[in-house]
Amino acid sequence: MRILAVDVPEGLPERWRAWLAPARQPFYLTPAQRTSWGLSAGEPSTDPHLRDTYTLYCVTPGLDVVWLDETEFHALPRPVRAGIVRAQVDHERGAVPTVRRYADLVDARTQADGHRFVWWPSMVTDEVLERFVVDDGWPASRHAEVPGAVWDATLPGAQALAGTFPPGSGPNCFGTVMAAAGVADADTEWMQREPFEAWLAASTAPGGRDCDAGTVLVWRGTDGLAQHAAVTLGGGWALNKPSQCWYAPRVVLAVADVIATSRTAGWHLTRRRLTR
């Protein structure tokens, strides 16, 4: 499998299927909704892969969570299924696509209200996985276009990371930048702001040019906190991991494209250059 010009390692698609469509998945409902549909509340998920599949950081606070498998879900009357699925959209749970978007791959017209649906293991093919990843809107990686002379002169860990998918959720932009600069195992961690800021303070200085290797691009919010980071490779290229999600690859793009695709309201871009 090859997605966004990145090869997917053998065995990873099977894990992706389990993360996109687990045998039991969480549904988020108000207590009144849950009670009216005769459903029992369960414990919240702590799985980082489900956190990213279902964008649990966006879900409305204070809701009950109900766990259902495919058989239990389909045993409910269709009006109840429709209400549950609509509630996921209202409460901002992820992985509730439109029927129209996947109509050529799956027939989900009768699952719920005919407009939205949720994924179950029986529905997820390689083609579904590819579209799910592509639909996040990230550009294809251009690592194959980077000249050998750029790789020879760039950061010690960059080439090994370029054009790869992580083994799961957690590895993020901060860890990718640090690993590209040679910090051992940083690419396997869900790197938090504090260690990233400590590394910036110890290993970089203000400044840097986009055309050079080793300029760390850091986007900060209005509160001054780091929100995202990428690093230049030289020759006008940059390495970027757009999120900590399991389906976010480490891509190489033109620096201008990394800047354009990372632009977010309320963020401002700063630059620091590697000093060691």
The string of pLDDT tens digits covering residues 93-113 is 999 999 999 999 999 999 999
Q: Is 234 helix (H, G, I), strand (E, B) or coil?
A: strand
Helix, strand, coil share of the chain (percent; to 5):
35, 20, 45
> Counting every residue, how long is the chain?
276
Contact between 132 and 247 (Cβ < 8 Å): yes
Domains and CATH numbers, the chain: 2-134 (no CATH), 143-274 (3.90.1720)
Strand 24-29, strand 64-69: pairing: antiparallel
Cα–Cα dist 129/131, whole Å: 6
Contact between 255 and 235 (Cβ < 8 Å): no
Q: Is 232 helix (H, G, I), strand (E, B) or coil?
A: strand
Contact between 1 and 129 (Cβ < 8 Å): yes
Per-residue pLDDT tens over the stretch 144-190: 999 999 999 999 999 999 999 999 999 999 999 999 999 999 999 99
Partner residues linked to 187 by β-bridges: none
pLDDT score, position 242: 96
Taking 70 as the pLDDT cut, the residues of the chain under it are none
The pairs formed by 142-148 with CB atoms below 8 angstroms and a separation of 24 or more are 142/5, 142/237, 142/251, 142/252, 142/253, 142/254, 143/5, 143/251, 143/252, 144/5, 145/252, 146/233, 146/235, 146/237, 146/252, 147/235
pLDDT score, position 276: 82
Contact between 43 and 37 (Cβ < 8 Å): no
